């Protein structure tokens, strides 16, 4: 009888200790666990200045908040969607605490790979388009949240009209494999139509088609518009070599493209949207925020910028209020 009482007492003590230990954290994210080291897989679609800056901003935000308690497995897909799939599948197999998806292809691969591991994206123009969400509310309703790189399309179109009021035909050039580029192209087309300006669309399926597509566009248009597009951003030298000798200016959707081949852009800071994504990641990892209910965030401000070198080559004087890139 005494042995049974002793055993019962020991069992009760063990159960109490187990319950106490379990109460020390607040879920699978390890919130409030002072000894937790967070492992984050980073999948970046391709290497170019805008995406690089977003990744650096993301890492900086988390490193400032977590110090040595965060580790990054940073991988680049070199522009190949199949590589994004392989990278994200590997992160899931490794049971990382979070996946940071930089650009649309990376986000789509991450979302296909897991519906449980939190995913934070950046450099995504439109999450509804990227994730095929029909009833958009500003939140994804799934294990995904993040920041957008969409600058106001109507203001970009206003910029084109301001700089080139005599333009009769505008060419919109983008990669047909990038859903968010198609989305921006459709919005820009609507804005041009509202101003009575004719436009033509030119799409390249991949890098190999860019030179031919741009050469055709510059022969048929007065001005080109290139939206935020990772394939185009990685091939600005090819685009410049076709457009500048032909005397055709390019309005770009973001600073990286403008630096390489454009005359002006309505710029956001990719470092800033990456940093904001890092702050969102911290809320998820440490404070237990639910990605499904977090609003997608946007760049807080935009800046009219111009490429001084290409403007000089083409004899273009930017209107007042424009800032030289890097100036």
Q: Which tens digit of pLDDT belongs to each residue from 285-316?
A: 999 999 999 999 999 889 999 999 999 999 99
Residues 214-227: tens digit of each pLDDT:
999 999 999 999 99
What CATH number is given for 153-267+303-324 in this structure?
3.40.50.2300
Question: What pLDDT is stored for residue 327 in this prediction?
Answer: 63
**Comparing 38-149+270-293 with 153-267+303-324, is the CATH topology the same?**
yes
Q: Helix (H, G, I), strand (E, B), or coil: what is residue 224? A: strand
Rg of the chain in Å (alpha carbons): 24
Q: Which structure tokens are listed for 322?
A: 């424009």
Can you give the pLDDT at residue 6?
A: 39
DSSP string for 174-216: EETT-HHHHHHHHHHHHHHHHTT-EEEEEEESSGGGHHHHHHH
CA–CA dist 62, 83 (Å, integer): 25
Asked if residues 142 and 136 have their Cβ atoms less than 8 Å apart, the reply is no
Q: pLDDT grade, residue 4 (50/70/90)?
A: very low
pLDDT tens for residues 80-108? 999 999 999 999 999 999 999 999 999 99
- pLDDT, tens digit (0-9, with 9 covering 90-100), for 115-133: 999 999 999 989 999 999 9
Please give the average per-residue pLDDT across 150-173, as a whole number. Answer: 95
**DSSP-assigned beta bridge partners for residue 202:** 173
Q: With CA atoms as reference, report the closest residue to 304 among 321, 317, 287, 288.
A: 321
Q: What is the DSSP string of 250-317?
A: EEESSHHHHHHH-SEEEE--HHHHHHHHHHHHHHHHHH---GGGSPPB--S--EEEE-HHHHHHHT--
pLDDT tens digits along 31-78:
556 789 999 999 999 998 889 999 999 999 999 999 999 999 999 999
Give the Cα separation of 34 and 174 in Å (integer): 47
With 0-12 / 13-18 / 19 or more C-beta atoms within 10 angstroms meaning exposed / middle / buried, residue 124 is: buried
Return phi, psi of residue 133, to 5°: -100, 115
Closest CA to 258 of 298, 231, 227: 227
Spelled out in words, what is the top-level CATH class assigned to the domain 38-149+270-293? alpha beta
Give the dihedral sign, CA 90/93/94/98: positive
Helix (H, G, I), strand (E, B) or coil at 271: helix
The residue extents of the domains of the chain are 38-149+270-293, 153-267+303-324
pLDDT of the residue at 186: 95
Q: What burial class does residue 291 get, using C-beta atoms within 10 Å of its C-beta: 0-12 exposed, 13-18 middle, 19+ buried?
A: buried
Q: Whole-model pTM?
A: 0.76
For the chain, percent of residues with pLDDT exceeding 70: 90
Number of neighbours of residue 315 by Cβ within 10 angstroms: 8
Burial of 110 (0-12, 13-18, 19+ CB in 10 A): buried
Q: Strand pairing partners for 175?
A: 204
Q: In the numeric block, which tokens belong to residue 16? A: 């109490």
């Amino acid at each position: 009888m005494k042995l049974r009482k002793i055993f019962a007492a020991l069992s009760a003590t063990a159960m109490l200790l187990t319950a106490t230990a379990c109460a020390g954290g607040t879920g699978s994210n390890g919130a409030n666990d002072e000894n937790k080291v967070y492992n984050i897989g980073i999948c970046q679609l391709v290497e170019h200045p805008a995406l690089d800056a977003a990744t650096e901003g993301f890492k900086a935000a988390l490193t400032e908040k977590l110090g040595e308690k965060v580790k990054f497995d940073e991988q680049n897909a070199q522009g190949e969607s199949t590589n994004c799939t392989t990278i994200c599948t590997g992160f899931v197999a490794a049971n990382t605490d979070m996946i940071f998806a930089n650009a649309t292809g990376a986000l789509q691969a991450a979302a296909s790979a897991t519906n449980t591991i939190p995913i934070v994206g950046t450099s995504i123009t439109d999450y509804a388009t990227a994730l095929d969400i029909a009833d958009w509310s500003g939140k994804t309703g799934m294990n995904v949240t993040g920041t957008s790189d969409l600058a106001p399309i109507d203001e970009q179109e206003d910029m084109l009209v301001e700089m080139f009021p005599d333009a009769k035909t505008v060419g919109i050039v983008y990669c047909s494999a990038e859903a968010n580029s198609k989305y921006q192209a459709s919005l820009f087309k609507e804005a041009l139509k509202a101003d009575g300006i004719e436009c033509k669309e030119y799409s390249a399926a991949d890098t190999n088609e860019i030179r031919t597509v741009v050469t055709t566009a510059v022969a048929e248009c007065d001005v080109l518009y290139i939206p935020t597009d990772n394939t185009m951003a990685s091939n600005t030298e090819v685009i410049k070599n076709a457009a500048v000798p032909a005397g055709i200016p390019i309005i770009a959707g973001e600073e990286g493209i403008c630096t390489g081949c454009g005359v002006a852009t309505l710029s956001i800071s990719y470092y800033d949207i990456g940093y904001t994504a890092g702050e969102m990641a911290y809320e998820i990892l440490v404070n237990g925020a639910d990605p499904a209910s977090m609003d997608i965030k946007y760049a807080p401000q935009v800046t009219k910028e111009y490429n001084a070198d290409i403007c000089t080559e083409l004899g273009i004087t930017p209107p007042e209020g424009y800032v030289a890139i890097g100036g």
